[in-house]
């Protein structure tokens, strides 16, 4: 048991700034998506499905892609089914499998909402960083993402 | 209505890396805190109360400090009350106010868990960034935090 290595003031500041930035940003993006009756989590599911072949993903792959538990995703998909944005489909040939499938309404929704959402992401995040800062951010975080993915 | 300014590949990459980093990191920290029967959200409440005078905060101030709605915080505090970590106390002199108060058990819990948690934060985030990267991160994010706080 060695003594804890507490964070230095600079480390503490960077850590708290990271946490605050993320929470405030998600809160803001959620609020702007509410005008379209969506949450950030809904939007992320729509994006993942819209970029997949046949606009469908196995639930386990969608849980991996959106970094959440199967049970949490299942609740989320039920809420989105109720709104007509997605449907579940069982795959008879594959015991592993229920799929989440984007409906036409879900597809039209992401087409309609995407311009506003990208404008929010620009206004509150991307356009407030220089190209150099964006590159430094990506260079700093990308290896950590790889590290954390290996632990899952 | 001007055409949407879609993100460039570099912008898209930085944005997705930021989102993935945060989700994976919270997932990992949650998992390591589970050994102490706490979540990241529980921990954050304990830290905020432990750093406050008399280890207490008005619920509205705690909601602001942890950047969440009053109703979500209220559920969170109920769960933590059931575990004996905090209690609610009404303030008779102040109509605005219910306070959340850290119990002795809550105080002992944060003392016991903090060394493990800081070690997790170091292992999965802080120690994977150089001092320069930490400074650049803070410099880049701090003005965005200020911008977003003004919008709340």
Mutate to test the interface with A, among B21, B40, B110 (most CBs of A within 10 A): B21
* Per-residue confidence (pLDDT) for residue A1, from 0 to 100: 60
DSSP A99: E
CB-count burial class (<10 Å; 0-12, 13-18, 19+) for A111: exposed
Contact A66, A44 (CB under 8 A): yes
Contact A127, B134 (CB under 8 A): no
Tell me the average pLDDT across A78-87: 97
Rounded to the nearest 5°, which phi and psi values hold at A98?
-95, 140
DSSP A54: G
In chain B, what residues touch A142 (CB-CB under 8 Å)? 17
> Does residue A117 surpass a pLDDT of 80?
yes
Could you tell me the pLDDT band of residue B110, with boundaries at 50, 70 and 90?
A: very high
pLDDT in tens, B16-39: 999 999 999 999 999 999 999 999
Say whether B135 and A15 touch across the interface (CB within 8 A): no
In chain A, the residue whose alpha carbon lies closest to the alpha carbon of B32 is A151
Mutate to test the interface with A, among B16, B19, B44, B68 (most CBs of A within 10 A): B19
Q: What is the pTM of this model?
A: 0.92
Say whether B10 and A115 touch across the interface (CB within 8 A): no
* Per-residue confidence (pLDDT) for residue B94, from 0 to 100: 67
Mean per-residue pLDDT over chain A, rounded: 94
From the list A132, A105, A112, the residue with the least C-alpha distance to A36 is A112
* Per-residue confidence (pLDDT) for residue B91, from 0 to 100: 77
Structure tokens at A99: 């799929």
Say whether A145 and B24 touch across the interface (CB within 8 A): yes
Q: How far apart are CA B19 and CA B6, in angstroms?
A: 17
| Interhelix angle A9-34/B131-150, nearest 10 degrees | 40
From the list B99, B28, B91, the residue with the least C-alpha distance to B61 is B99
């Amino acid at each position: 048991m060695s003594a804890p290595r507490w964070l230095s003031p600079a480390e503490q500041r960077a850590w708290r700034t990271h946490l605050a930035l993320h929470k405030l940003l998600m809160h803001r993006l959620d609020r702007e998506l509410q005008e379209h009756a969506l949450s950030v989590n809904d939007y992320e599911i729509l994006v993942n499905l819209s970029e997949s072949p046949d606009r469908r993903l196995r639930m386990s792959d969608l849980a991996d892609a959106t970094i959440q538990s199967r049970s949490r995703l299942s609740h989320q998909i039920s809420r989105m089914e109720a709104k007509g944005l997605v449907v579940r489909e069982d795959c008879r040939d594959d015991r592993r499998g229920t799929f989440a499938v984007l409906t036409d309404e879900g597809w039209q929704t992401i087409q309609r909402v995407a311009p506003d959402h990208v404008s929010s992401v620009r206004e509150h995040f991307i356009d407030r960083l220089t190209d150099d800062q964006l590159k430094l951010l990506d260079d700093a975080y990308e290896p950590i993402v790889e590290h954390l993915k290996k632990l899952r």
